[in-house]
A and B are shown apart, each in its own frame.
Chain A
């Protein structure tokens, strides 16, 4: 258990609010438990609901460094954990050879920390700041199954084994946030090592709070109408429902156009900020964006 700047669930709630992250108490409770129990936190939810933002805000709350690993298909240990600086090693071997160094001495030297290129996971383990960093492993579902196996040792013991050097263990375990858009199922072995939290789309009232917190210059009427409209859109059977990120983008677009309330013309002109697929756009227009607008305005 670390010496935390947040000593209770209420502290976490207040800190999230102070950093303009509007969340339900359940998320504050989850973050508090993850920090108190030193457990990684797996956040699942649709794209754009604020999962990555949790990692960023947590680093600010803890006043520490954020180390981010963006996952992608094909990511491997060389990109995520460590890599040997081969060119530098070759150069060093030549120098040692010309100096007449012995073979085992050469081997010992080239496999030392000097030639180790530290990638995000190793950086998080070896971090030497006053507070341990926040390690954000973003979109783990994009990585291959094999990559999850690399994470098992890290997440259970906060250590990494490098065959040539040995095992490197964190003095203070980092706060680990893993996010997944659930485009594929994460392996149970990984889930077992984490606390699990599902971030859902916010309610209309909660979304209104988020808009006013993140876009402070938004007129209250516009914020209310936008949150109600987005709430209506999320009832439709779309390929990709708008997340909070889309709501905020849309609100900023409307403000940039000088709108103070929703109108049919403004909605038609900016629907591209709400939905990102042509089929959804057609569906939304077909579903009667005018009716959705009427419901949002009267809400």
Chain B
């Protein structure tokens, strides 16, 4: 019978690979303290597990939601077998209850309603931002205009950051 501790560790290491696939810094330098953290918290408490994940892998606030979705998808574990990384030569039974998902699957799982029948295929999707991008300003409702303003505020120029004496980003004009 496989050692449950080893299986658990292996599963979390697979999770680390998923995080790397999503662009997170989840190399050994991060995974080792994370695995240590898992030994000192109560794994039955989802909130503690979530916090441990956040504090080890997030680098900015907007990454927290992505980590939450990745963890939720990982723990749901309904992802089909056979998605294991090619570098692994062990069989499924040797690995125990290994769970693995790809970054692409996580994107599909992003929408709960689509998650049930999710497949690695084209999925019909809808993007409010895309709809707004296509519309003329004079056809926008007040709510849509507010959303456009919000999206514009979130936009960043592709140029690299340069040092300035400004301590804080400029705010939108007050009449907005």
Q: How far, in angstroms, from A19 to B41 measured CA to CA in the complex?
A: 23
Interface check B113, CB cutoff 8 A: no
A contact residues around B42 at 8 Å (CB): 9
A contact residues around B60 at 8 Å (CB): 44, 185
What 1/0 flags go to A21-41 for Cβ under 8 Å of B?
A: 000011001101110110101
Task: Indicate if the CB atoms of B51 and A30 lie closer than 8 Å.
Answer: yes
What 1/0 flags go to A155-191 for Cβ under 8 Å of B?
A: 0000000000000000000000000000111001001
Q: How far, in angstroms, from A196 to B53 measured CA to CA in the complex?
A: 10
Interface check A195, CB cutoff 8 A: yes
Binding site for B on A (CB under 8 A): 9, 25-26, 29-30, 32-34, 36-37, 39, 41, 44, 73, 142, 144-145, 183-185, 188, 191-192, 195-198, 237, 239, 279, 282-283
What 1/0 flags go to B39-51 for Cβ under 8 Å of A?
A: 0111000011011
B contact residues around A142 at 8 Å (CB): 167
**How many residue pairs bridge A and B at CB < 8 Å?**
71
Interface check B17, CB cutoff 8 A: no
The bracket for how many chain B residues form the interface is 20 to 34
Interface check B30, CB cutoff 8 A: yes
Task: Indicate if the CB atoms of B52 and A33 lie closer than 8 Å.
Answer: yes
Q: How far is the CB of A21 from chain B (nearest CB, A)?
A: 17
Q: How far, in angstroms, from A140 to B161 measured CA to CA in the complex?
A: 18
Interface check B77, CB cutoff 8 A: no
Q: How far is the CB of A143 from chain B (nearest CB, A)?
A: 12
Nearest opposing residue in chain A for B55, CB measure: A195
Task: Indicate if the CB atoms of A192 and B30 lie closer than 8 Å.
Answer: yes
B contact residues around A145 at 8 Å (CB): 163
B contact residues around A37 at 8 Å (CB): 33, 36-37, 40
A192: contacting residue among B29, B52, B167, CB under 8 A: B29
Task: Indicate if the CB atoms of B25 and A188 lie closer than 8 Å.
Answer: yes
Task: Indicate if the CB atoms of B29 and A33 lie closer than 8 Å.
Answer: no
Known interface pairs A30-B51, A142-B167, A188-B59; 17 further A-B residue pairs with C-beta atoms within 8 A, sorted by A's residue number? A9-B48, A29-B47, A29-B55, A32-B40, A32-B41, A36-B37, A37-B33, A44-B60, A44-B61, A183-B167, A184-B161, A185-B161, A195-B55, A197-B55, A198-B61, A237-B172, A237-B176
Interface check B14, CB cutoff 8 A: no
Q: How far is the CB of A266 from chain B (nearest CB, A)?
A: 26
Interface check B87, CB cutoff 8 A: no
A33: contacting residue among B41, B58, B161, B176, CB under 8 A: B41
B41: contacting residue among A29, A197, A198, A239, CB under 8 A: A29
Nearest opposing residue in chain A for B47, CB measure: A25
> 3 closest A-B pairs (Cβ-Cβ)?
A195-B55, A29-B51, A26-B51
Q: How far, in angstroms, from A184 to B60 measured CA to CA in the complex?
A: 11
Nearest opposing residue in chain A for B59, CB measure: A191
Interface check B95, CB cutoff 8 A: no
Q: How far, in angstroms, from A145 to B98 measured CA to CA in the complex?
A: 42
Interface centre among B51, B61, B176 (most CB of A within 10 A): B51
Nearest opposing residue in chain B for A279, CB measure: B174
In the complex, 7 of the A-B residue pairs with CB atoms within 8 angstroms, ordered by the A residue number, are: A25-B51, A26-B47, A32-B40, A39-B33, A183-B167, A196-B54, A196-B56
Q: How far, in angstroms, from A293 to B29 measured CA to CA in the complex?
A: 51
